Copies of this chain bind each other. A is one copy, B any other.
Amino acid sequence: MKIAFDCQGGDHAPQAIVEGALKAKEALGIEPIFFGDAARLKAMEGVDETHIVHCASAITQEDSPALAIRKKKNSAIVMGLGALKEGKVDGMISAGSTGALLAGGMFIVKRKEGVERAALPVYLEISGQKKLILDVGANMDASPEMLLSFAEMGQSYLRDVEGVDAPTVALLNVGTEEGKGNQQVKAAYELMADGIEHFTGNIEARDVLFNNVNVIVTDGFAGNILLKTIEGTVGYIQHGVASAAKGSEKAGELKMLAKSILGDLDYSRYGGVPLLGLEKPVFKAHGASNAEAVLSATEALVRMVRGDEYREGAGQ
C-alpha cells in the first residue's frame, strides 16, 4: 500500500512527517511516498531517494484554499492528491491547511457519487464507545439534504473503517422531541427519519458525551460550536485545576486525576480526522502532529484504504 505524505504541512514538517512515515513503514508495512522539497528530504536519514516527489512550491495557512489549489500546482497537497486521483498512491496524509486539503479533495480527487459536499468529522471514543460528530467545520451553510448525506457518510465510516456494527445516528438539536429546532434541522429530521437506518431522533448537546449514539449529525457551524465549547470548558477546568494545584502538595496527584477524567475528551490523540465523501482516502493530521501522531493518522488511513478495498471487493 502506497501512502502520500505531505512533507510541507504542519508545525513540525518535514521532520515529524518523515519520522512518522518511517515509523508507519516499519509498523504497518506501507510504502511512504514523500512529497516536498527534494534536496531537504534527500538529506534526511531513512528516506529512499526513489520515493521522493519534488514539490517546488508550498501551500501555507495564510493562502486562500481554493486559490492555492489553482495556483500552486506543484505544492505537496496538489501533487499528492493528483497522484491519489491517478491511482499512483492509495491514500494521502497532510498536516497542512485543512481548507486547502478539502478544496483539493473536492476539485482533484472528487466527491463520491451522490455526495454534494465533503465533510470534516471529529472522532472520539468515550468509555470505549466510538463516536463520530460531523460536520465540524467544512460546511457552514448545510442544506437538509447535505445533513442526510453526512449521516450516511458517518455510518459508512464507522462501519467500514472502525468496524462498528449497525451504527446509530442522531441529529444535534435543541430538544429531543420531533418538531424542535430551526427550519434546517426540522427538514433534516424528516429526511433522516425516512432515509436512515438506526436513526434514533434528536440529541441535545448536553447528552452528546453521555448518550450511546454513534453518529451525531450537524452542520459545520453548530458542530464547530459544540466541539470548541467542549474544548473551552475542558480548558477552563484544567486552568482551575492548575490554579488549585499551585503550591499544593498534591499538585501531581491532582493533574493525574484531571488527565484521567478528561482523557477521553482529548480528540487530538486520534491523530486527526478523515475527509469524508471523497472518492479516495484522504486524512487530515493535526497541524501540531509529532511523529507518533503521524503514525496514528497513518493507522487510521490504512483502515480507510482497507475499508474501500473491502467495499469494492464486495462489488459495492
Contact = CB atoms under 8 A, between A and B. Distances in A.
Contact of A182 (B204, B206, B221): B221
A141 interface: yes
Contacts of A230: 229, 233
A171 to B, nearest CB: 12
Contacts of A137: 174
Interface in A118-154: 137, 140-141
A203 to B, nearest CB: 10
A225 interface: yes
B240 A261 contact: yes
Count class of interface residues, chain A: 35 or more
Given A204-B228, A225-B222, A244-B257, A233 B140 contact: no
Contacts of A115: none
A36 interface: no
B232 A172 contact: no
B232 A181 contact: no
Given A140-B174, A174-B137, A174-B140, A260 B231 contact: no
20 contacts: A140-B174, A140-B181, A174-B224, A181-B221, A205-B225, A205-B231, A206-B235, A209-B233, A209-B235, A210-B239, A225-B225, A225-B226, A226-B229, A233-B265, A237-B261, A237-B262, A240-B260, A240-B261, A240-B262, A244-B260
